Amino acid sequence: MPTSQADYFTDYHHVKLTRDANGVLVVQLHSNGGPCIMTAQTHTEFVDAFYRISQDRANKIVILTGAGGDFIINVDWASFGDPSDPEIWSQIHDEGVQVLENIANIRVPLIAAIEGRAHVHSDYALLSNVIVAAEGATFQDVAHFAVGVAPGDGIFTTWSYRAGAGRAEAFLLNPQPLPARTAEEWGVVAEVVPNGKALSRARELAELYLKAPEVTRRNTRVHFIQPLKERVAREVGYGLSLEGASAADLTKSSKAKTERQAMTAKVA
């Protein structure tokens, strides 16, 4: 099928954008063509990419997915610098709020196609109207409590909205891989499909949604996302402030431990 491209499609190193003649935009998050690892650069790029996507009325349906058989798998912590530096955390804080607001501001049906590991920022996927997950897909949060940081960046807001607060709290306090079938039972995943078929099923759903008039499609997305959008606006800025304080404390504790070990080694 012929494609319809826009100038901004080539602006990003970690976001591959392709749109077909019907206006179905596939947003593929990646690192060098493989599974996406969150870095400071990707964090910044995602803010702009989702803003441009949300503003482009040529996008009739948006499909969010990952590369290399995964969604987002890990974080390159060193790339962000020292989180106890107020200037650094200010940027992380602002981008963390903006990226979720920009995804929520996509005003057409949004489908997430999840293969493999959605272990970082699964909240992006949970801002979709529908998640299609492969049988082998797993959801996890390796970026917060697992490493000693409060999960304040929207991961609790989205999971508690989709699955309920009790399940979200247990999921985030004991971050273990959650199978796609369990996520389906929780109401987070709409459909589980054979491995390798998530994107093709998302495309089938996109074709189905395109049968509705454009204004109907847009207004339905706007209506469905509004309650979660309100929670993002109300909760995530505060949550990221709490996360920043915990990250600064973790950095302080780690530095103190390193200094004690160095002192002990020197005395020995």
Convert the pLDDT of each residue in 26-55 to its tens digit: 999 999 999 999 999 999 999 999 999 999
Token reading at 181: 């079938």
CB 237 within 8 A of CB 124: no
Q: What is the pLDDT of residue 254?
A: 75
Convert the pLDDT of each residue in 53-82 to its tens digit: 999 999 999 999 999 999 999 999 999 999
Residue 257 has pLDDT above 90, yes or no: no
pLDDT band for position 1 (50/70/90)?
Answer: low
Instruction: Enumerate the β-bridge partners of residue 20.
Output: 3
pLDDT band for position 2 (50/70/90)?
Answer: low
What proportion of the chain, given as a percentage, has pLDDT over 70? 94
CB 215 within 8 A of CB 64: no
What proportion of the chain, given as a percentage, has pLDDT over 90? 91
CATH topology of domain 7-267: 2-enoyl-CoA Hydratase; Chain A, domain 1 (3.90.226)
Average pLDDT over residues 192-200: 98
What is the chain's mean pLDDT, rounded? 95
Average pLDDT over residues 160-170: 98
pLDDT band for position 253 (50/70/90)?
Answer: confident
Task: Give the integer Cα–Cα distance in Å for 17 and 63.
Answer: 10
For 234, counting Cβ atoms within 10 Å of its Cβ (0-12 exposed, 13-18 middle, 19+ buried), the class is: exposed
Domain range summary for the chain, segments of one domain joined by +: 7-267
Q: Whole-prediction pTM value? A: 0.94
Give Cα separations from 46 to 15, 91, 209, 266 (angstroms): 8, 13, 25, 45
